[in-house]
Amino acid sequence: MNTASFQDEIDADDDIEIIREFFPWSAHRAGSCLWRASCELQAAREATPRSTRPLHDPTIASRAIAAFALRGGLKGARKTMGKEKATEADRRAIGSKMKRRAIEALRERVNCAAVLEQASFAMDKQGSTRRAIKFRRGGEIIIVTHEGRGWFDPLSDAKGDVFGLVEHIDHVGFLESAEKVADLVGFTMTEPERQPARCGEGYNPSILQRWQTRRSPWPGSSTWNYLHDERCVPAPLLRAAIKKDLLREGPHGSIWAAHTDSTGVVTGWEARGPQYRGFASGGTKVLFRLGPATALRLAVTEAAIDAISLAAIEGLREGTLYLSTSGGWSPATQAALRELASRPGARLVAATDANSQGDMFAERLRALAEDGGCDWTRLRPPEEDWNETLKIREKEKRE
């Protein structure tokens, strides 16, 4: 929605009505707010040369209404409401009373990425794609989607719009989140570097079909060389993974590592290469699985390359299923882990990275194990992750 259409739709009477409906806490205070809002709007219009055209200045058209109502009016609202946060019922009630077009105007004008930048999140360019931009703040991760209109937290089930994002990261109610969103009207965020779309990129056949059209790695192929030479994965282990149909040749020497459900159906794949990492567009993160399906020792890592590396270090330990969550904690991943951990005699091994994010994943795994009544242990890599550990070990062998 542009500024012109926003102003065309909301005239002076509607401006007053929005404030009246959004802040009905007392007749006296409402009258005061209405008078102040009217003065601001009148001053803004007098400051602009008279014309038959609507106002086009976004700082007048948007902020004179939305920012005043959501920021100035909220101060009075909070005095009445005290320190109580708005419940979900409050949010629905407020949303139903406020003119929908005013809320939609703010939602359209403020990008989720702008909220994250203002909250000291940093963009992870290496972990971002054209459709999903990853942001980090310490151990927190937020993925921005839908061209900035949506987001989700890969470490939980949280997701939503720009208002929900502020509620999630700042732990506030809807009133406070609306105020902060209004403050960001007109804020310009840093744009990620965009790669030009390749020919045929829009074509999106089924996941299984796309998987089957790619070749398995072979000795001397670019993917084989990447895994064997750069990642130091031993040739016997590569052959074992290829025999189980777990790996495919990706574009530009990258590797595709299959995620499968409990029946062995491919649901997506982790993509990793010399200059790229991500997950199959349109795919579903479940689990990368290397080892016998009946194994009771469940070694859970954050990436397929780490699961393969740990298997190399342990020599494909008998009775072990090496798993990767692809750095996320989707409902499908959680369900798959619960199913595996619920078997009698199962033991969950948190083989996640040796950093704050890895420790956070380990705690989630511990809680899952306790809920399922299975044994749990933490297996922390000597280096930051298992592939770094494997590369150092292989280098020492050669020396």
- Exposed / middle / buried, residue 387 (Cβ in 10 Å: 0-12, 13-18, 19+): buried
Separation CA 167–CA 155 (nearest Å):
16
Q: Which single residue is written with the structure tokens 């996640």?
A: 352
Is there a contact between 116 and 144 (Cβ–Cβ < 8 Å)? Answer: yes
Residue range of the domain that includes 83: 1-108
- Cβ neighbours of residue 226 under 8 Å, at least 6 residues apart? 253, 254, 255, 273, 274
Residues 238 and 371 in one domain: yes
Tens digits of per-residue pLDDT, 77-136? Answer: 444 444 444 566 666 555 555 556 677 778 888 889 889 988 889 888 767 777 788 898
SS3 294: coil
Residues 259 and 394 in one domain: yes
Residue 129 domain flag = yes
Q: What is the pLDDT of residue 45?
A: 52
Residues 160 and 144 in one domain: yes
Residues 153 and 82 in one domain: no
Write phi, then psi, for 8 (nearest 5 degrees): -60, -40
**What sign has the CA pseudo-torsion 198, 199, 204, 205?**
negative
Residue 196 domain flag = no
Residue 47 domain flag = yes
Residues 172 and 36 in one domain: no
What is the total count of domains within the chain?
3
Tell me which of 76, 108, 140 is where a domain ends.
108
Residues 69 and 117 in one domain: no
- Exposed / middle / buried, residue 348 (Cβ in 10 Å: 0-12, 13-18, 19+): buried
Tell me which of 108, 129, 154 is where a domain ends.
108
Neighbours of 347 (CB within 10 A): 17
Q: Which single residue is written with the structure tokens 């882990």?
A: 337
Separation CA 171–CA 205 (nearest Å):
40
Q: Which residues of 68-94 are buried (b: 16+ CB within 10 A; e: fewer)?
A: bbbebbbebbeeeeeeeebeeeebeeb
Separation CA 337–CA 391 (nearest Å):
28
SS3 62: coil
- DSSP assignments along 145-184, one per residue: EGGGTEEE-TTSS-EE-HHHHHHHHHT--HHHHHHHHHHT
Residues 175 and 212 in one domain: no
Residue 200 domain flag = no
Residue 193 domain flag = no
Bridge-based pairing state of the strands 276-279 and 266-273: antiparallel
Residue 198 domain flag = no
Tens digits of per-residue pLDDT, 211-241? Answer: 989 999 999 999 999 999 999 999 999 999 9
Residue 274 domain flag = yes
Residues 96 and 114 in one domain: no
How much of the chain, in percent, has pLDDT values that exceed 90? 42
Per the model's pLDDT, the better-predicted residue between 4 and 381 turns out to be 381
What is the domain-level CATH number for residue 142? 3.90.580.10
Residue 195 domain flag = no
Residues 16 and 123 in one domain: no
Q: Beta-strand (E) ranges in 125-261?
A: 133-137, 140-145, 150-152, 159-160, 247-249, 255-260
Q: What is the pLDDT of residue 320?
A: 97
What is the domain-level CATH number for residue 361? 3.40.50.140
Q: Which single residue is written with the structure tokens 């506030």?
A: 172
Residues 151 and 102 in one domain: no
Residues 52 and 142 in one domain: no
Would you say the pTM of this structure is higher than 0.75? no
Tell me which of 63, 83, 108 is where a domain ends.
108
Which of 354, 353, 352 lies closest to 365 in space, CA to CA? 352
Per the model's pLDDT, the better-predicted residue between 289 and 97 turns out to be 289
Tens digits of per-residue pLDDT, 180-189? Answer: 888 777 554 4
Q: What angle do CA 42, 45, 49 make, to 5 degrees?
A: 145
Residues 232 and 304 in one domain: yes
